[in-house]
Amino acid sequence: MRPLHEYEAEKAPGLDENDAICATLAWHDGDARAAIATLLADCAHLRRQLELTRAAMGRGFTRGWEPTALRE
């Protein structure tokens, strides 16, 4: 599943998606399972941070909009 366009990180000039994948695998010494585990842990951390932010935000601050952890 590809991320939605608005959630894609900006890429540095001259780098493509494969460079980011190769860099991630290299960081984990070529262990794809470790790379996936790290990405899942990062995703879980960001979801927790989003939930904390959502609980702390006032509804007037966002004019009624609330962030969600799920894609629409």
Can you give the pLDDT at residue 45?
92
- Give tens-digit pLDDT for 24-55: 889 899 999 999 999 999 999 988 988 888 88
Alpha helices in the chain (DSSP H): 17-27, 32-56
**52 torsion bin: left (phi>0), alpha (psi -120 to 50), beta (else):** alpha
State if pTM tops 0.75: no
Residue 1 has pLDDT above 90, yes or no: no
